[in-house]
Amino acid sequence: MKSQRAQVGQTLLPRKLRKSTRWQTALFTQRRIVSNCCSDLSTTYTEEVPNYLALNVLQDQSNTGQDNIRKVLVILNPNSGFRSSRAVFYKKVQSTLKLSGFTMKVVETAYAGHAKVLASTVDLSTCPDGIICVGGDGVVNEVLNGLLGRDDLKEALQLPIGIVPAGSDNSLVWTVLGIRDPVSAATALAKGGFTPIDVFAVKWIQAGVTHFGLTASFCGFVADVLQLSENFRLQLGPFRYVIAGLLKFLSLPQYRFEVDYLPSPGRNPELKSPTQNCCDQLSDGSKVKRGSTEDNWVMRKGEFLGILVCNHFCKPAQGLLSPVMAPKAQHDDGSLDLILIHGSGRLRLFCFFVAYQFCWHLLLPFVEYVKVKQVKIRPVGGTHNGCGVDGELLQGEGQAEWQCSLLPAQGRLLGRHPRT
């Protein structure tokens, strides 16, 4: 009897030890898998991942076939924002994209315009699932212009652009996709899907040079601020626009332009007839030179504090209030939204920016808002002849004439808005 009990104790004890040993070995293996995974994804990744979460993600990844692997080119601007875009990508974004099946080639830009060169020369077969931009709206604009300047334009138009916000301003991805931080951007990219978007072209008529954009084109005070802000890019980062705006406000010049625009048919029920427009007197004393010509073109001439042509409602990602510039604009509505700020003087400019913070700026009597198909802008006299496109300044020579026209649904963004 004693020998039987001894045999039972000997058989039970090893079983308990075996169970405990197996449990500890499995836990150690899990930790080892997670540690190796993190080290492979990024050499600077130090955040600990719960075992159950990492294992579930890895299990989902292992179940995905080769057909689900997405090959993309990542163009990273290391100077975006406060030069934090590199850390943002490698610590917050790269691991999520790798776990969701992305195969990435990361290239850092070395100079202004480098992203355009990369997009215009890359072999599209190496990144058939898109180009991901890490930085601000400027690097996205360079990639867009690089793609639209290629000889194989038909194939380039099919290539979507992904955006990881890490720059001074990321109005495009915040307005169109509802994303204002890198983690949300990585999640949206991992989920997949596409969002079509209109593209507009700004042509310097005298030189025959065309530049493409996705957000907005502007002349006047904002273009002057953009030019001045480049002097403070390295020192102030995103705050350079505030300092440049204050300096330009204190030395505010007068801006005179001739503006021709072609209204979008059926989009402006509040507009007056061409006959009425010919007789209108604007609040700042400028007149409508001609109300309509062939194709119902309308012309405005006089002093303008600013001229803005918006492709979407332009909601800035920075700031507490995040006001909307063009509330009727949509990124895929087949029209552009023109905002004319008539007049001159610091008081009028101050009133506009205060009203803009509360989205009341369109109620001001000196602000004109109209949906258009095309716009032509000509500086008059000594007015600054630069034109801003998506945060990039195009510098003309002499009396430059700019023409802004729409290319409906010619762009595609990676990801979808959470509410779609």
Give me the active site residues, please: 137
The answer to whether the beta carbons of residues 198 and 311 sit under 8 Å apart is: yes
Dihedral angle over CA of 267, 174, 140, 341, nearest 10: 50
Q: Residue written as tokens 């990801």? A: 415
CA distance 193 to 81: 28
Task: Single out the residue of 310, 342, 306 nearest to residue 326, CA to CA.
Answer: 310
Biggest distance spanned by C-alpha atoms of the chain: 119
Task: Single out the residue of 301, 307, 312 nearest to residue 218, CA to CA.
Answer: 307
List all residues 6 or more positions away from 224 whose beta carbon is below 8 Å from its beta carbon: 248, 253, 384, 386
Structure tokens at 211: 């530049």
Q: Is 45 exposed, middle or buried (0-12, 13-18, 19+ CB in 10 A)?
A: middle
Structure tokens at 102: 């992305």
Strands (E), 119-193: 131-135, 161-165
**Phi, psi dihedrals of residue 211, rounded to the nearest 5°:** -125, 135
CA distance 262 to 413: 28
> What's the N-to-C CA distance of the chain in angstroms?
75
DSSP 166-186: -SS--HHHHHHH---SHHHHH
Give the length of the chain: 420
Structure tokens at 358: 């509360």
Task: Single out the residue of 76, 99, 237 nearest to residue 164, CA to CA.
Answer: 76
Task: Single out the residue of 190, 188, 170, 194 nearest to residue 180, CA to CA.
Answer: 170
Structure tokens at 238: 């995103």
Amino acid at 161: I
Structure tokens at 217: 């084109």
